[in-house]
Amino acid sequence: MAEHRVGNREEWLEARTALLEREKELTRRSDELARERRELPWVPVEKEYTFETDEGTKTLPQLFAGRSQLLVYHFMFGPAYSAGCPTCSAAADTFDGGVVHLNQRDVTFLCISRAPLEQLQAYKRRMGWSFPWASSAGSDFNFDFGVSFTHEQQRDGADYNYRPVRLLAILEAGVAPEAIESIAADVGTDVAGYLTELPGLSAFALEDGAVYHTYSTYARGGEFVLGFYPFLDRVPRGRDEDDPPENWIRRHDEYGDA
Amino acid sequence: MPEHAVGTREEWLAARKRLLEEEKQLTRRSDELARERRQLPWVPVEKEYTFETNEGTKTLPQLFDGRSQLLAYHFMFGPSVEGWPEVGCPGCSYTADTLDVAVEHLPHRDVTFVAVSRAPLEQLEAYRRRMGWSFPWVSYGNSDFNLDFAVFTEAGRRTGTGFNFDTPKHADIDLRNEELHGLSAFALEDGVVYHTYSTYDRGTDALNATWQLLDRAPKGRGDDFEGWPRRRFEYPDGA
């Protein structure tokens, strides 16, 4: 007998139909929040940024590639890294196949990281991805949109996900230090070198030659790009992770047999 | 000036922080529903099904491939799908583009993922190669697998109707010979297979990260769905 409660089809159907109503409410609420995001004021981006791309140096308006909307995934690949963050790499496994559909919806999608372009290109080849990836090395872009931190900010505090954080204090407080150390070693640096970057997604609009910042999301607000979690939320045992989550995510070419 | 409201950084930040609280509530609510799904009773699957796979004919317990959990994505590929017999449904293909590599992470959580369709295995294989996908894809052929995991009453099984828990929106679908889009979950314990969960229609929205990305773009999903989404080689500058 299963340890889990076993029922007949009628019992399941009754419980499932009741849950369906709550699922529908969640979908409607999610649609409502999408509408609220579109109602945020647009903020003109007046600073000039330059990026290194496969087609040479580009400005922010040029990154739109002729479309009116731009989505930037802030992929954690900092100047001290020798490989991209494994969790961001799992996100890339998800969004890589969606880019062509977004482009048809007047949305340009790309990743931006602070590592030099050649390193991003080499890592992208290794992982077999095709999305465009630009380097913001030497630019304030990732700092201004809340995903890169100087060593002073790590020590003295900065905002991440719309609230103040002191990244080094978190470590000193002993929150999952082993997990963070192991990921830092995995990307080829130490904890301070690893935590110059955090993940996020930013959205921009281009109209009459002016770029507007419309939205940014961080932390679990960007969890939807990890495309396997919605599937795990529907299997019998769920995500089955500890709290804080154990560090199980690997690059797709680094799993042993499972 | 754009037609959209323009604001200062301070105005944006105040509105964004209010929205953040609502987003956090949504995330917590989503976690709560995931917990509720796990509390549904498990229903033993007593019928025997066979599937054609790349490794020969398999039963439902064999599809688990040594793991304890199975997800079956009901990919619409059958005679009622536009483009038959060469190609699968455009909407399912759009979803498959983002789930393809993402599902490679699932075996490491003791979950086997397979796509399941009515079309014969050779057609599934040819289309999978054309699209460059790597997920496993099996044919349920002439079995009742899709019907049995789409309608759950005796009356529904007799007429093939009642898709998505009797939604009026799709009351005219006859699942005995038409296709559906959905996801079903199963558990295997002590040699017994249990059906645990199924979801359809917009219940699968969250499985497609492209929808979620559009929900964060300045203009959203848009409202003109003529010619989008398509199979990606069908776009004007298709890849």
- In tens, the pLDDT along A162-203 reads 999 988 876 677 666 788 889 999 999 998 999 999 999 999
Q: Which of A102, A228, A229 is most worth mutating to test chain B (most B CB atoms within 10 A of its CB)?
A: A228
Q: Retrieve residue A22's tokens.
A: 């709550």
- Write down the ipTM of this complex: 0.96
Residue B133's pLDDT band (cuts 50, 70, 90): very high
Domain boundaries, position B35: 7-39
Predicted local distance difference test score (pLDDT) of residue A174: 64
Find the DSSP H helices in chain A: 9-38, 60-63, 86-95, 99-103, 117-127, 141-144, 151-156, 167-172, 177-186, 191-194, 229-232
Q: Which residue of A has its CA nearest to B222?
A: A105
User: How many Cβ contacts (< 8 angstroms) between chains A and B?
Assistant: 308
Residue B99 shares a structural domain with residue B183: yes
Q: Give A90's contacts in chain B (Cβ within 8 Å).
A: 102, 105
Residue B99: inside a domain = yes
Residue B218: inside a domain = no
A132 touching B (Cβ < 8 Å): no
Distance from CA of A248 to the nearest CA of B (A): 8
Residue B21 shares a structural domain with residue B134: no
Residue A71's pLDDT band (cuts 50, 70, 90): very high
Residue B129: inside a domain = yes
Average pLDDT over residues A104-110: 97
Is the model more confident about B62 or about B3?
B62
Q: Give A12's contacts in chain B (Cβ within 8 Å).
A: 40-43, 152, 195
Residue A141, pLDDT > 90, answer: yes
Q: Which of A10, A218, A226, A231 is most worth mutating to test chain B (most B CB atoms within 10 A of its CB)?
A: A231
Predicted local distance difference test score (pLDDT) of residue A175: 63
Q: Give A101's contacts in chain B (Cβ within 8 Å).
A: 94, 97, 210, 228-229, 232
Predicted local distance difference test score (pLDDT) of residue B223: 87
Name all contacts of A245-250 with Cβ < 8 Å and 24+ positions apart: A246/A179, A247/A179, A247/A182, A247/A183, A248/B108, A248/B109, A249/A86, A249/A87, A249/A90, A249/B105, A250/A86, A250/B108
* CATH no. of A49-232: 3.40.30.10
Per-residue pLDDT tens digits for B199-221: 999 999 999 999 999 999 999 99
Distance CA A235, CA B108 (A): 13
Residue B145 shares a structural domain with residue B164: yes
Residue A162 to residues A197, A221, B78: CA-CA distances in angstroms?
16, 12, 49
Residue B51 shares a structural domain with residue B28: no
Is the model more confident about A1 or about B126?
B126
Residue B114 shares a structural domain with residue B31: no
Residues 6+ apart with CB under 8 A from A217: A200, A201, B23, B216
Residue B3's pLDDT band (cuts 50, 70, 90): confident
Residue B153: inside a domain = yes
Of A6, A210, A255, the CB nearest to B44: A6
Per-residue pLDDT tens digits for A1-51: 567 999 999 999 999 999 999 999 999 999 999 999 999 999 999 999 999
Strand partners, A218: A200
Predicted local distance difference test score (pLDDT) of residue A238: 95
Domain count, chain B: 2
- CATH number where B130 lies: 3.40.30.10
Residue B225: inside a domain = no
Distance CA A191, CA A185 (A): 8
The answer to whether the CB atoms of A250 and B36 lie below 8 A apart is no
Residue B72: inside a domain = yes
Residue B31 shares a structural domain with residue B59: no
Predicted local distance difference test score (pLDDT) of residue B117: 98
Residue B66 shares a structural domain with residue B179: yes
Residue B61 shares a structural domain with residue B136: yes
Residue B32 shares a structural domain with residue B84: no
Residue B20 shares a structural domain with residue B88: no
Per-residue pLDDT tens digits for B26-56: 999 999 999 999 999 999 999 999 999 999 9
A66 touching B (Cβ < 8 Å): no
Of A3, A5, A214, the CB nearest to B41: A5
A240 touching B (Cβ < 8 Å): yes
Residue B189, pLDDT > 90, answer: yes
Residue B61 shares a structural domain with residue B113: yes
The answer to whether the CB atoms of B20 and A19 lie below 8 A apart is no
Residue B122 shares a structural domain with residue B22: no
Residue B11: inside a domain = yes
Per-residue pLDDT tens digits for A193-242: 999 999 999 999 999 999 999 999 999 999 999 999 999 999 999 999 87
Q: Give B220's contacts in chain A (Cβ within 8 Å).
A: 34-35, 37-38
